[in-house]
Structure 1
């Protein structure tokens, strides 16, 4: 079966990456520089790991007004040509990269690609959203009943319609008004003709940072995207904060009811790039600390510690340093496996993981191997990698996982399978070990993960510092849409 469109990568992701949790988008914005869209394209390129199915950029120029371009596929293939970038002039631009939501792989429509744009009485505005609105169904029904006409299936479009119906005087105030109606997680970059706006929800579930580039400013999902454009990292946007940036500078306000922050802990484990900074700390260093904690909790006699590349690498280094067992690149990733490599025939699909990963046979043969990975979701990739290691002559295979068992879906902007498809939702740790057919399988504890990210005493069950719902089943915002669709929350007494 051929791809749904020329940029459909589902046949590749199903063989490996589809067994990972994935951030559904990354956002970036720049104001006060010539040809801002070029900087946005570079920033989105650095955020490509947060969304690889489609991307879009909106810019504003005093002569040509608002201009936009939305494309399927990678940033490098769509926003590097002179012919495209010349259509996006001006000193102000925002952009977005995305994955589609669960259940819609290969069905992404161009109308769902952000940023979204709207014309208001006081002028146009564009918005790009990272996160997920958990009451979007109820909001959409209400808005449609009142006459709104939706152009996409995205929950993010609700924000534009709520802004249109607001009676506030200007666009930032209308955005405040709209976001007060929204439940769930949102980090937003938006733009008017003269303003760049950034907002984080009161829990601060998804990241957003502020940077300075010359006389201009940038907003980004991660600091690594500031690095690529030569911007200075200034600070993180605080949970519940709105910044409005103009040629006069940055105005900060806190328009929402204060709540205790619950930043997504999986950003530390997997989502963010290892060269980014979260909470004043290197993501790489945090992942190395996770590996050290994993080694303390779950030692095993072995000859080699090998990462499942690339996401397991820092934790594997930490495990090796703590355990004293040599670190080795037992699995090599093919960095040049592109979407246009070959027509995805059934035979190619069946090659699965081998298209992307290859075992370093000479290193593995006869060895007791510890494989370190960031997570186990469905378990399909873990099982295939185990088979590859054994086929290469390994004596034993031990999995060590740098996160607790993923037993609950995320509803705050992460593409997660339904709960019954999560291995840890239906199996005990020993049952998972038997299912994967490995000599041992151990996960870092939730307390251990908290210690690794800087909470010395582990997790306080009465007042957790992070959103860890995918591990604990304790959702900081009730997922009302999902409950309406039949999702059953974890019983309070469980």
Structure 2
């Protein structure tokens, strides 16, 4: 088994993105467009990527590689093996299955059915995957990977429906959890979102062709026009004749992942016809209103804290400053680090602007606090540079519950907010103050003027509230305890 380079210490204290999916139909050399789209979605998964294409003469072709898109899918020798006007792709960060680098876990997955082949790429997490896998294995299925997404292929294979879109409907009706899916047959591009719409999926138009993507920023890179979001519970089937829309699931109130607004999506993407950047700036505005503090500078923890820091500065009137500079060439991994280098911690990626910080009362704005280990290191860097005071303002509520819908969160016992009060967190990190935006404030920032309605929340906010819109059956079977009813 091939080992990946170790993650940089800075990345160990962040919620890990889920995955990114992209598909194109009706353009020459579709795989090249998919590679560009995956490059724009690289922030959603850096472990591995894959592309499957179809050509009338050569049939289905696939390539799966470890590492960044730019290091693999920009090579002409590889892209020439992926011809055709139809292709789908996936970038991966493992949230289910093996955590090591196992090529068989890299999507898209391919299956050969009686009516032809199909490939599928999935973003999200299937919360009843263990139960489905046991059932399928007992009925004779042979799994090739440890990924929960492979369950969909096996469920499709066992369906008695006469075509692949209908088989996919059958399969996805058995699946619980969160999923956005792009799939392809020889002639069709298919996109599906789960009934709650937890994970994102958007539709774009490129010339006479069409594109499906996790985010609008990936449509921009290929010059596609954003058309609309795929609706929660919707399946679209696209071929040479156009688009057909189906609603294969019982309708329920949607619960889109609110953390997409806070951190996962790129700031130049659009969610719900609203700029992600503008939402994050507004989070900073709300945070300044809820948790003011006398200080000299507002500094983002780059890069994810930048829009919120700008909003905080604008609302508070405290000057915005780049007190921390990010090494843009660091990447997510480094040289094989010695213990001495690893002990340098975040200094490999971030450095303090000492001339600016010295003697100042500094507000640091970050997107979240998970374990708190990185916050401690950043605080110490600021103090070592001569800051008079350090205050943390966090652009999300305390992350006190793990996510089971496609985000790699630590066990609840390792989440700082699950074990400490706000004051205890302040003492643990060692800062003059720490404040988190309230859940109501976050809802106001994303456009819900009245805040969060406890009886009918508009988003999935389980990582903050402990209220899971889909029961995490597999985790409960392993002993996970849900939040007690109030």
Under TM normalisation by the shorter chain, which class is it?
over 0.9
Q: Which runs of 4+ in 1 moved over 3 A?
A: 102-105, 338-341
Residue 27 (structure 2) aligns with = 33
The one of 447, 454, 476 equivalent to 2:447 is 454
Residue 276 (structure 1) aligns with = 269
Residue 86 (structure 1) aligns with = 80
Contact 2:366 2:394 in 1 (8 A): yes
Residue 217 (structure 2) aligns with = 224
Residue 328 (structure 1) aligns with = 321
Question: How many residues align structurally?
Answer: 486
The one of 195, 199, 210 equivalent to 2:192 is 199
Residue 233 (structure 1) aligns with = 226
Give SS of 1:329's match.
coil
Give SS of 1:293's match.
helix
Compute the displacement of 1:350 (Å): 1.2
Residue 59 (structure 1) aligns with = 53
1:22 partnered with 2:32: no
Unaligned runs of at least 5 residues, structure 1: none
Contact 1:100 1:108 in 2 (8 A): no
Q: Are the structure 2 counterparts of residues 271 and 163 from structure 1 closer, same or farther at C-alpha, using a change threshold of 3 Å? A: same
Residue 172 (structure 1) aligns with = 165
| Deviations, residues 1-33 of structure 1 (Å, cap 9, x unaligned) | xxx846x24331xx1122111222000000000
Contact 2:97 2:146 in 1 (8 A): no
Contact 2:352 2:385 in 1 (8 A): yes
TM-score (norm 2): 0.99
Counterpart Cα distance in 2 of 1:101 and 1:350 = 27
Counterpart Cα distance in 2 of 1:341 and 1:481 = 35
Residue 358 (structure 1) aligns with = 351
The one of 241, 255, 261 equivalent to 1:248 is 241
1:463 partnered with 2:456: yes
Residue 71 (structure 2) aligns with = 77
Give SS of 1:87's match.
coil
Contact 1:190 1:197 in 2 (8 A): yes
Give SS of 1:67's match.
strand
Counterpart Cα distance in 1 of 2:335 and 2:482 = 43
Contact 1:9 1:53 in 2 (8 A): no
TM-score (norm 1): 0.97
Contact 1:27 1:128 in 2 (8 A): yes
The one of 399, 403, 408 equivalent to 2:401 is 408
Give SS of 2:104's match.
helix
Give SS of 2:61's match.
strand
Compute the displacement of 1:379 (Å): 0.4
Counterpart Cα distance in 1 of 2:345 and 2:97 = 20
Counterpart Cα distance in 2 of 1:476 and 1:486 = 18
Contact 1:11 1:344 in 2 (8 A): no
1:265 partnered with 2:258: yes
Counterpart Cα distance in 1 of 2:441 and 2:339 = 42
Compute the displacement of 1:343 (Å): 2.5
Residue 10 (structure 1) aligns with = 6
Contact 2:296 2:361 in 1 (8 A): yes
Q: Are the structure 2 counterparts of residues 122 and 56 from structure 1 closer, same or farther at C-alpha, using a change threshold of 3 Å? A: same
Compute the displacement of 1:338 (Å): 3.8
Instruction: Summarize the alignment of residues 100-249 of structure 1 with structure 2, pairs less than 5 Å apart.
Output: 100-101=94-95, 105=99, 107-249=100-242
Contact 2:96 2:125 in 1 (8 A): no
Counterpart Cα distance in 1 of 2:102 and 2:234 = 32
Counterpart Cα distance in 2 of 1:129 and 1:341 = 29
The one of 274, 291, 294 equivalent to 1:298 is 291
Counterpart Cα distance in 1 of 2:151 and 2:6 = 28
Aligned-residue CA RMSD in angstroms?
1.1
Compute the displacement of 1:276 (Å): 0.1
Counterpart Cα distance in 2 of 1:361 and 1:47 = 34
Counterpart Cα distance in 1 of 2:97 and 2:281 = 33
| Deviations, residues 120-139 of structure 1 (Å, cap 9, x unaligned) | 00000000000000000000
Give SS of 1:34's match.
coil
Compute the displacement of 1:346 (Å): 1.3
